[in-house]
Chain A
């Protein structure tokens, strides 16, 4: 409650200032109030003591002065004494009572009621003081007994000196009472004035101390405010601010530390900004480089496209050239056939003695001419076939054919060669084999190639042709007891112009086209060709094609 009240009171002040104020001011105020109260009390005590002392003296002196007057009851004398007393400051009223309580004389302020002094006995010479009120005014009343000293009693006067009781030098007798009333108004006014003065001092002190405190707290809070503002500015990004460090105290060191922090922050910010600008620069150069690279890439792409176009042109030209080559080969083959036809035709007719009898000596070279011619014709056919296949102009002539006829034809055309080399040449075909569908002449050509090779590469032993049918798949097998082929060579065997060994080509002849052509024809029949072999023990070649191949469109 007090806190929030203070906050309301110190609206606009910092809470720190309020706290300082509220921790110091109450102490100062309570100290001043206590001090003032103590002061006033002491002063009052002193003044009152003085007052009382004066009052007693007045009462005593009045009592003494009134001795004769009371004794003689001489009013005039008494009034004169009273007048003298009344002239004294603060004396409000004076009363003189007789021994029996009658008022012998009075002066000053008239009183409504008069309290009789009672049995007033001087005790140690000090007249008692009492406070009384008359008409709302307060007075301090001092009553002094009026004493008559009798040195001689009447008897002594008459009888002469009589023996006196021992020790009784004088005899005193109270014959009345003198009452002096001092008004307390002066004293009270004095005390009040003092209290007022203290109040004033307190107020002045309060104001001064508040001002001092405010100033002091300003000295503390201003740097803090400044720090706060700077911190906010730094937070807003203004780093070039510096707090003026004035004091050597904690605030000063805080400011110094703050300045240091700002400096290092500025340093790191500068680093960061530098790094950022470097990064930006890098980014720009990177963009430039990317742009450059993009341009280069675009140029390369264009160049690539150009070369691709060129390549396509070249490819087209090449394809055309390849076609021309194939066409050329086909033409050459055709042109070769005409003279070949003449050579073989005439030679055969000579052998058949169409032109008359021939001698046995002549028959032998004529047979050689015939065989070489046939061989040359086969080579020409192979070249033509392969060039047609390469040009994509090879079409199968599909129809029903008899596998038995195929094997028989192959065996018949190669039987003489086998007989010549002294090789056993056998063929086994299931007699109940159904008609196959495909290009019978090509299949025959394939089997002829394999069997021809087997005979070619076998010096002694046997060559066997076998056919079986398994799940609508015709499998042709040609095995020999020839020189054999190594594993690596088998893999290369079916590529064009490949023979296992160059020396083999010299010894056994052949273009090496046979296997390539066989592979292509088998593949055109949706079949496959493979081989097994062992060096020195012989080889077995296989090809398998569907018994009835599915006709693919026109081909």
Chain B
């Protein structure tokens, strides 16, 4: 089995570092995108196995990016974990409606996030 690729779309460097550190010791390969526009390019080019999508993004929001990815046949079935900063206010519902596979409320426990990732995308081997 080849290495599983995860794309993490997040504008905050600190948060990106958490996931980077979290996945350092795993078999997953991590790709990072700081905004929605670049994430769409990377996703279409790299075709990751799983996408972690922060909803609160500057300019193009995570919801819109998710919707666009779902309309693209190459990424239509890629699991997407939406990371909602508002653990309330119906962001989860919006994410689900846009086509997200699961969601994780921020602040999340890295432990729980890794568990969720492993559940959706087994590490392999």
Interface residues of chain A, those whose CB is within 8 Å of chain B, are: 330, 334, 337-342, 344-346, 348-349, 352, 354-355, 377, 381, 384-385, 388, 393-395, 397, 441
List, sorted by A's number, 24 A–B pairs whose CB atoms are closer than 8 Å.
Answer: A330-B86, A338-B15, A339-B14, A340-B107, A341-B106, A341-B107, A342-B12, A342-B14, A344-B107, A345-B15, A345-B110, A346-B18, A349-B18, A349-B21, A349-B22, A354-B24, A355-B21, A384-B88, A385-B88, A393-B89, A394-B89, A395-B89, A395-B90, A397-B90
Smallest CB-CB A-B distances: 6 pairs: A341-B107, A345-B18, A342-B14, A340-B107, A345-B110, A341-B106
Known: A388-B88, A397-B93. A349 touches B110 (CB 8 A): yes
Residues of B within 8 A of A341 (CB): 15, 18, 106-108
A-side binding surface: helix, strand, loop or mixed? helix
Residues of A within 8 A of B12 (CB): 338, 342
A388 touches B107 (CB 8 A): no
Interface flag for B101 (CB, 8 Å): no
B-side binding surface: helix, strand, loop or mixed? loop
Q: How far is the CB of A399 from chain B (nearest CB, A)?
A: 9
Contact with A along B86-125 (1 / 0, CB 8 A): 1111101100000000000011111100000000000000
Residues of A within 8 A of B110 (CB): 345, 348-349, 352, 354
> Which residue of chain B lies nearest to A395 when distances are taken between CB atoms in the complex?
B90
Interface flag for B5 (CB, 8 Å): no
Q: How far is the CB of B77 from chain A (nearest CB, A)?
A: 24
Tell me which of A340, A354, A384 contacts B21 (CB under 8 A). Answer: A354
Interface size on B, residues (CB 8 A): 23
Provide the bound-state CA to CA distance between A395 and B90, in Å: 7
Q: How far is the CB of A524 from chain B (nearest CB, A)?
A: 12
Residues of A within 8 A of B90 (CB): 395, 397
Q: How far is the CB of B103 from chain A (nearest CB, A)?
A: 11
Residues of B within 8 A of A397 (CB): 88, 90, 92-93
Interface flag for B25 (CB, 8 Å): yes
B56 touches A334 (CB 8 A): yes
A337 touches B106 (CB 8 A): yes
Most chain A CB within 10 A, of B21, B106, B110, is at B110
Residues of B within 8 A of A344 (CB): 107, 109
Provide the bound-state CA to CA distance between A441 and B91, in Å: 13
Interface flag for B85 (CB, 8 Å): yes
A348 touches B87 (CB 8 A): no
Provide the bound-state CA to CA distance between A334 and B106, in Å: 9
Interface residues of B in 36-86 (CB under 8 A from A): 56, 85-86
B108 touches A345 (CB 8 A): yes
Provide the bound-state CA to CA distance between A393 and B91, in Å: 13
Provide the bound-state CA to CA distance between A385 and B88, in Å: 8
Q: How far is the CB of B122 from chain A (nearest CB, A)?
A: 20
Residues of A within 8 A of B15 (CB): 338, 341-342, 345
> Which residue of chain B lies nearest to A555 when distances are taken between CB atoms in the complex?
B90
Provide the bound-state CA to CA distance between A384 and B106, in Å: 14
